[in-house]
Amino acid sequence: MTRRHWLLLLALARARAAKPRPAAGRGVLRRIAAWFGDAHPDGLKAVVDGREAAIDRVLGPKDGLLLLLVLDLTEDIARIDAARQAAAAAIESLPDHVWTGVLSATDGLRVLQDPGPDRAAAIAAIQSAQVTGRAGLLETIEPAARLAVALARKAPVRVAVLYLTDSEISNYREDFTNPVINYSDTRDLSRRFPDALIREKSARLAATLARSDAPVFAVHLAFRRDRLNEAYQTGLQQILEASGGRAWFCNHLTEIPDAVHAAFQRILSMYSIDIRLPDGLPKSVSVQLSANGGVDYRTRLAAEGWSRE
C-alpha cells in the first residue's frame, strides 16, 4: 500500500468521529462480524469457550465502512458485464459514510482504485478492469484479508472484502487436479480422491482466515457441477465462513444482479464487535454472542489473530 492509502484512511478517521472507547484491557483483541436483523445489540454479551469476554467496542451500520472490492474475472463476458452493472448500481447508491477501493486478483493483488468516497472513480475502475488471465482468488484471499485487517487498525471503521469471481478450478496457475501417480496401481488414492488437493488447500486457507478480523465475501458468477469444481465451491464457502463472511453462487446470468445486491446489503448491515479473549485458551475457540434479539455471527475462530499494529 502507498502512503496515499494511509492518508485517505486517516482522513476518514477524522471525518467520522469515533465512539468513546474504554481503556485497553488485557487479552487478545479480536473482531467479529455480526448481524442483528431487526433487533438491536442491547445487552450484548460475549462468551468464549464458556468464559465471559469483555467487549471493547461495537461499530454498527451508521458507522464508517471501508469496502475492498476485488475483481477475479476471466471467463464469460456476459456474466462479467452483468456483475459490473450490478456493482456499479450498488456503489452509486452507497451512503456517504462508505468508502470503496477496487482491486484485481488475476495477476496478484493489485490496487485499481484507491479507497475513497469517489463513486465515479470506483465504477470506472470496475468497468475498465481487464478480464484476461488466470483465476486468482485462492492466491490473493489471504493477502486481501490481511490488507483489510491492517486498514481496520488505522481508522475506527468497519472493513470488509468482497470478491466478484467467475473462477474455475482448472484456470488456476497451480494444478489442483491431483493427477493419477501410478496408473498400474488400483489402490492409488489419487484415483479415488481426485479432489483431495482442493480439499487440503481449502482446509489450510480456512484455518488461516479464522485468524482474520475482517470478513471476506464472494459472489461467484458461474456455479459449476463437475466434481472438482463442486469441491472447489464447497471449499470456497468453508474459507469465507471461517472469516465471518459468506458466498453467493449464481446458476444463471439472471441471478447475478440479485446476488451482488444481496452481498452489498449484507456488508452494509454488518456490525463489528471488538472483544478481548480470556487468557489460556486453546488454538481454536467457540464464541457465543447474546443480545436482546437474534444475532448471526461465526461461532468459531482462532484464538490468536494477525498481530495488531
pLDDT tens readout for residues 130-179: 888 899 999 999 999 999 999 988 888 999 999 999 999 999 988 887 55
Q: Is 167 exposed, middle or buried (0-12, 13-18, 19+ CB in 10 A)?
A: buried
Indicate the fold that domain 65-176+186-268 takes in CATH: Rossmann fold (3.40.50)
pLDDT for position 180: 46
Q: Is 81 exposed, middle or buried (0-12, 13-18, 19+ CB in 10 A)?
A: middle
Angle between helices 227-243 and 196-209 (to 10 degrees): 10
User: What percent helix, strand, coil does the chain show, rounded to 5?
Assistant: 35, 25, 40
Is the CB of residue 196 less than 8 Å from the CB of residue 178? yes
Instruction: Write the DSSP symbol of residue 213.
Output: S
Instruction: Write the DSSP symbol of residue 57.
Output: E
Instruction: Write the DSSP symbol of residue 296.
Output: E
Q: What is the pLDDT of residues 7-54, one digit of tens each?
A: 455 455 444 434 444 444 467 899 999 999 776 788 899 999 999 999
pLDDT for position 193: 54
| Sheet with 98-104, side-by-side order of all strands | 110-116, 98-104, 65-72, 158-165, 216-220, 247-249
Residue in 171, 177, 219, 221 with CA at minimum distance from that of residue 196: 177
C-alpha grid cell, residue 41: 445489540
Q: What is the pTM of this model?
A: 0.88
